[in-house]
């Protein structure tokens, strides 16, 4: 059985003080004895100004730190950017790449995402590559084509060495923040398409060993079980529901089989 992944994306939702408080609650909750036999990883992605502070809180705990984005260059005149090595310095192990909100508001494209994936892997960080179709693409039955194209553009020519890991997060754009998740069967179908394309690109053995495919989009403690019982879903990325420790803990217990 593959280890599961649950990622809390706190987006731009909390002040520094609020972030410290929630991070301390996460550390207290997930470092308790009941989580010692968890079947997977817990990751938290706070805002950039909080990374160092949260990294200190999570140090030597079972909660992993993730960045919400990085730039693909190591140094230079790239005002407002954060390099992969800076994320490492803050204690990050994971990095979100290509989140739909970055693609929408900052006009990031998959050529940029490809550069970021290469840069992140050079620093032994684990990229969490976000893909997914919008409402128009879904209505016109273009989802499969969109997912394959996004995978090919972001992962073309990428070579994984040893046990390097990559996470692909399927997030149907139209479901994010809507309060309504897609039907589990539809998510399972999309994950099958993703897995088949990854098999074509990297081979079945590499995909089995080095890749995880997770779902994101209005997940709650009420609906998460129906997604996690499916064969091709290895975890979830959680937005709004990750801002309340009680709700996130309920979700994590289901995903990680506690």
Residues with active-site annotation? 99, 171
Give start and end residues of each alpha helix (H) in 62-106: 84-89, 100-105
Spell out the residues 6+ positions from residue 238 whose beta carbon is closer than 8 angstroms to its own: 6, 7, 8, 9, 216, 219, 248, 251
User: For residues 201 and 151, is the Cβ–Cβ distance under 8 A?
Assistant: yes
Reduced to 3 states, what is the DSSP secondary structure of residue 233? coil
Q: Distance (Å, rounded) from C-alpha 130 to C-alpha 233?
A: 14
Handedness of CA 191, 196, 201, 207 (dihedral sign): positive
Spell out the residues 6+ positions from residue 6 whose beta carbon is closer than 8 angstroms to its own: 40, 41, 42, 43, 235, 236, 237, 238, 251, 252, 255, 256
| Residue the block writes with tokens 């730190």 | 65
How many C-beta atoms lie closer than 10 Å to residue 6's C-beta? Answer: 26
Residue 46's nearest CA partner among 83, 80, 20 is 20
User: For residues 126 and 95, is the Cβ–Cβ distance under 8 A?
Assistant: yes
User: For residues 117 and 154, is the Cβ–Cβ distance under 8 A?
Assistant: yes
């Amino acid at each position: 059985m593959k280890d599961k992944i649950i990622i809390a994306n706190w987006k731009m939702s909390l002040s520094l003080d609020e972030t410290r408080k929630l991070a301390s609650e996460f550390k207290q909750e997930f470092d308790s004895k009941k989580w010692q036999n968890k079947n997977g990883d817990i990751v938290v992605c706070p805002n950039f100004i909080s990374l160092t502070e949260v990294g200190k809180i999570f140090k030597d705990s079972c909660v992993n730190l993730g960045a919400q984005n990085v730039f693909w260059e190591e140094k230079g005149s790239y005002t407002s950017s954060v390099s992969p090595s800076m994320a490492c310095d803050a204690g990050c192990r994971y990095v979100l790449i290509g989140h739909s909100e970055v693609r929408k508001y900052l006009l990031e494209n998959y050529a940029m995402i490809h550069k970021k994936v290469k840069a992140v892997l050079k620093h032994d960080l684990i990229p969490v590559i976000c893909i997914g179709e919008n409402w128009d693409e879904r209505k016109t039955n273009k989802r499969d084509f969109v997912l394959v194209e996004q995978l090919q553009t972001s992962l073309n020519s990428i070579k994984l060495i040893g046990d390097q890991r990559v996470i692909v997060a399927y997030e149907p754009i139209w479901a994010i923040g809507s309060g309504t998740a897609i039907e589990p069967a539809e998510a399972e179908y999309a994950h099958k398409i993703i897995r088949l394309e990854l098999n074509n690109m990297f081979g079945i053995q590499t995909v089995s060993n080095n890749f995880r495919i997770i779902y994101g989009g209005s997940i709650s403690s009420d609906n998460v079980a129906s997604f996690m019982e499916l064969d091709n879903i290895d975890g979830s990325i959680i937005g709004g529901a990750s801002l309340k420790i009680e709700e996130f803990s309920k979700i994590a217990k289901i995903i990680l089989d506690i």
